[in-house]
C-alpha cells in the first residue's frame, strides 16, 4: 500500500464540469460585451464559440518547447489579446491596434465573467471535505491561480495552494516539467503524492514517481493505469492504493 500524504487535483473535467461551464461562459460573454460595444447577445455568444479555439491554439503554439527563461504571464496576456481581437473582428468591430489594449479588454471581461460561474460536479464538495481531513490538498490545473480561486470558490479554502502554471512559470502542456515544477514549489516528495486528471497528461505526472488516477467516465481505450469514473468515487479506493 502506498504512502499518500499529498493529493493534487486537476480542475476542469475532475472538479468542475466543462460541459456545463462552456454555455454559461458564452452567455456571460454576450451580457458583458453587448452593453459596452453593441451587437446582439446571440452574435457575441457565437463569436466566442467560433474564436476561442483559434486563440487557444495560438497560445499552445506560443508556449511550445517551453523553458524557464520565458514569461508565462506574458504569453497569457497575449492569449487574452488574441481572444479580444478575434472576437471584435468576428463581430465586425475594429479592435484596438496594440496587444496591450486588447489584453486589458479581455482580462476585464474574464474578471467579470469568471466569478459568476461555479460548476462543481456532484459530490465534489463532500469528497474534498473528506480528503482535507486526511491529506494536504493542492490543485494541478492549466488555469491560472486567481481564476481558479473564483471557479472553486465553495471549496477553495480546503486547498493549501491552487496551482496553476502562473505559480511555477511552466505551462501544463509542457508535460513532466510542469509536474516537476509544481512538486518542487510545494516542497513535496512525488512518490508520496496522488495526482488526478481527466487528460492523458496524467502519464507525465506518473513519470515523476507520483501515484496517478485517470478520472474519466469514458477513458481513452489505450490507457492501462488506474481509473475512476468520477472524482466522487475516490474515497472508496484511496486507502487501498
Are both 187 and 201 inside the same structural domain? yes
| pLDDT above 90: residue 2 | no
Q: Read off the pTM.
A: 0.94
Count of structural domains, the chain: 2
| pLDDT above 90: residue 215 | yes
Are both 140 and 204 inside the same structural domain? yes
Are both 132 and 234 inside the same structural domain? yes
Furthest-apart CA pair in the chain: how many Å? 60
Instruction: Give the model's pLDDT for residue 1.
Output: 67
Last residue of a domain, one of 50, 84, 116: 116
Q: Residues of the chain with pLDDT > 90: what percent?
A: 93
pLDDT tens profile 180-198: 999 999 999 999 999 999 9
β-strand 161-163 against 211-215: which pairing, if any?
Answer: unpaired
Are both 151 and 184 inside the same structural domain? yes
Q: Which of 149, 161, 233, 216 is nearest to 7 (CA)?
A: 161
Instruction: Give the model's pLDDT for residue 126.
Output: 98
| pLDDT above 80: residue 127 | yes
**CATH code (residue 200):** 3.40.50.1000
Domain limits for position 59: 19-116
In a domain, 1, yes or no: no
- How far is CA 121 from each of CA 16, 124, 154, 187, rounded to the nearest angstrom? 5, 6, 12, 29
Are both 98 and 59 inside the same structural domain? yes
Give CA–CA dist 75/92, Å, rounded: 26
The DSSP element (H or E) to which 214 belongs, if any, is strand 211-215
Q: Which of 137, 134, 188 is nearest to 159 (CA)?
A: 137
Are both 178 and 224 inside the same structural domain? yes
223 pLDDT band, cuts 50/70/90, is confident
Are both 191 and 229 inside the same structural domain? yes
Query: Once rounded to an integer, what is the mean pLDDT over residues 107-135?
Result: 97
Amino acid at each position: 500500500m502506498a504512502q499518500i500524504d499529498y493529493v493534487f487535483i486537476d480542475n476542469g473535467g475532475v472538479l468542475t464540469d466543462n460541459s456545463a461551464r462552456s454555455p454559461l461562459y458564452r452567455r456571460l460573454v454576450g451580457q458583458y460585451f453587448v452593453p459596452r460595444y453593441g451587437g446582439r447577445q446571440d452574435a457575441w455568444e457565437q463569436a466566442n464559440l467560433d474564436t476561442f479555439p483559434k486563440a487557444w491554439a495560438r497560445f499552445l503554439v506560443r508556449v511550445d518547447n517551453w523553458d524557464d527563461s520565458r514569461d508565462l504571464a506574458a504569453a497569457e496576456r497575449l492569449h487574452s489579446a488574441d481572444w479580444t481581437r478575434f472576437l471584435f473582428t468576428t463581430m465586425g468591430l475594429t479592435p484596438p491596434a496594440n496587444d496591450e489594449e486588447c489584453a486589458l479588454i479581455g482580462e476585464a471581461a474574464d474578471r467579470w465573467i469568471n466569478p459568476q460561474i461555479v460548476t462543481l460536479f456532484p459530490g465534489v464538495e463532500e469528497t474534498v471535505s473528506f480528503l482535507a481531513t486526511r491529506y494536504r490538498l493542492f490543485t494541478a490545473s492549466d488555469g491560472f491561480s486567481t481564476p481558479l480561486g473564483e471557479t472553486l470558490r465553495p471549496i477553495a479554502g480546503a486547498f493549501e495552494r491552487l496551482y496553476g502554471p502562473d505559480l511555477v512559470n511552466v505551462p501544463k502542456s509542457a508535460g513532466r516539467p510542469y509536474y516537476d515544477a509544481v512538486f518542487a514549489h510545494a516542497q513535496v516528495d512525488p512518490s508520496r503524492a496522488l495526482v488526478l486528471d481527466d487528460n492523458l497528461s496524467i502519464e507525465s505526472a506518473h513519470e515523476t514517481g507520483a501515484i496517478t488516477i485517470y478520472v474519466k467516465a469514458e477513458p481513452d481505450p489505450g490507457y492501462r493505469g488506474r481509473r475512476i469514473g468520477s472524482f466522487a468515487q475516490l474515497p472508496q479506493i484511496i486507502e487501498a492504493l
